[in-house]
Structure 1
Amino acid sequence: MSSRRPGAGPTLNFKAVLLGEGCVGKTSLVLRYMEDKFNTQHLSTLQASFVTKKVTLPDERRAQLNIWDTAGQERFHALGPIYYRGSDGALLVYDITDEDSFQKVKSWVRELKQMRGSEIALIIVGNKTDLEEQRAISYETALRYAQTVGAKYVETSAKENDGVNELFELLTQLMVAHHGSKQQNDTNALRLQNAISEDGVEPDVDENVPAVAAAHRSCCGI
């Protein structure tokens, strides 16, 4: 937490990672978001690249997005956990004209769910909507899948600058919401701990069940 403004509170720091096969447009999405540029030549990421961007939230707080763009080549897949460990959000990108890239997104979702559980905000991104006539995965199919895994679904075109800013704004909102939920859970846990410390008894009726059952067995000669 750093960089204060009068009345704005500390800057929220979020780590976000882009995952997906090679050539689906992950780097193009980042380039469009960061610099509003599009490179017509294929941009190949080696292992990972890292950029940061500061944004102002609707409530005037500041947030810093630390964005990791990972390589999509199969030989770099094993490095994924290094980059998404501790991430607050993930963009799982596929090419709407490439069914295999969509199937690979599913494997990334399973891996993230296993490693990060509900601690990470997920958005599945169907990129290259400028190639609509070559679409291989329907919007409805991708949306239904995203809903089954608790993720949001967004379609974009880095080339046409369609939906890119909205994508990163949504990701930021989801990470802020997760941050707020975690803070609330931590507060509730602290209150419960304090209540136990003050009363000397855990306020949980279920804790008495084993004792009651034991007493029942004793009086009944069981």
Structure 2
Amino acid sequence: MSGGLKQGSFTEHVFKILVIGDSGVGKTSFVHRYIRNHFSNQLKLTVGVDFSMKMIEWDSKTLVRLQLWDISGHEHFKNMSRVYFKGARGALVVYDMAEESTLEGALSWKLDLDCKVVTDNGRPIPSVLLANKCDQDKARSKEPCLMDKLCREKGFAGWFKVSAKENVNVDEAVNFLVKHLLCEESPPEEGQSGNITLRQTPEKRPSKCC
């Protein structure tokens, strides 16, 4: 689902973004932190799909409406993923740094995503890998170079250590994905390359593989 509609002096974009990964990795907490700037330990596991929206005044000429689809990580609902994935323009793929097995689960979700959704050019839709719960004492952190290599191999636009609880890199991760989506929406001018180039300040620069 995409926008690009001109409304007077600005352009409006509508992006459907999937939030996927195994059950219990903190997808719903991440969405709640991003949408409402709120965290709770009492959130129930998602059944089916939860839907949230957020409007961003990206700049003086660009309005972005995000539709975040928080997909249940239960195997039963993973089997229905083709229905939920339809029309998606980007994805946040989440795993729990304190549970290493959920990284394999995240890679399985990414593979399923790439098989079922592509851009208008036939490429996988942009996706960002989120290493959630980085605030926990038992969080296991892989070397950044290994994560960079994993991103390149699996086709992620980039990755972030995040914490929904402590609000670490939540906005930064979503904004990074949105930048990719806006670049996909805007064809390069004549004589320019179609490659995506993202400029970020050093202190907020994510590990990325584009």
State whether TM-score is above 0.5: yes
Deviation, 1:60, is 2.7
In the TM superposition, residue 55 of structure 1 has moved relative to its aligned partner by 0.6
3-state DSSP of counterpart to 1:44 = coil
Report 1:66-105 matches (<5 A).
66-105=67-106
CA drift of 1:81 comes to 1.6
Q: What is the aligned-residue RMSD (CA, Å)?
A: 2.1
Q: Which residues of 2 match residues 35-184 of structure 1 at below 5 A?
A: 35-58=36-59, 60-117=61-118, 118-131=123-136, 133-140=137-144, 141-151=146-156, 152-181=158-187
Unaligned runs of 5+ in 2: 190-210
Question: Whole-Å Cα distance in 1 between the matches of residues 25 and 143 of structure 2?
Answer: 16
Measured in 2, the distance between the counterparts of 1:42 and 1:124 equals 22
Deviation of 1:150 after TM superposition, in Å, equals: 2.6
How much does 1:173 deviate? 0.9
Mapped contact 1:97–1:134 kept (Cα < 8 A): yes
**Aligned length in residues:** 181
% of aligned pairs identical? 26
Question: How much does 1:78 deviate?
Answer: 0.7
- CA–CA separation in structure 2 for the residues paired with 1:108 and 1:88: 16
**Residues 1:7 and 2:12 are matched in the alignment:** no
Moved over 6 A (4+): none
**Bigger mean CA deviation after superposition, 143-152 or 103-112:** 143-152
Q: Distance in 1 between matches of 2:87 and 2:4?
A: 19
Letter in 1 for 2:10: A
Contact 1:23 1:42 in 2 (8 A): no
For residues 143 and 40 of structure 2, the distance between their equivalents in structure 1, rounded to whole angstroms, comes to 26
CA-to-aligned-CA distance 1:119-173 (integer Å, 9 cap, x gap): 4111011000101x31235143333211222311111000000110111111111
Structure with the higher fraction of residues in strand conformation: 2
**Which sections of structure 1, spanning at least 5 residues, go unmatched?**
185-222
Whole-angstrom CA distance in 2 between matches of 1:149 and 1:59: 35
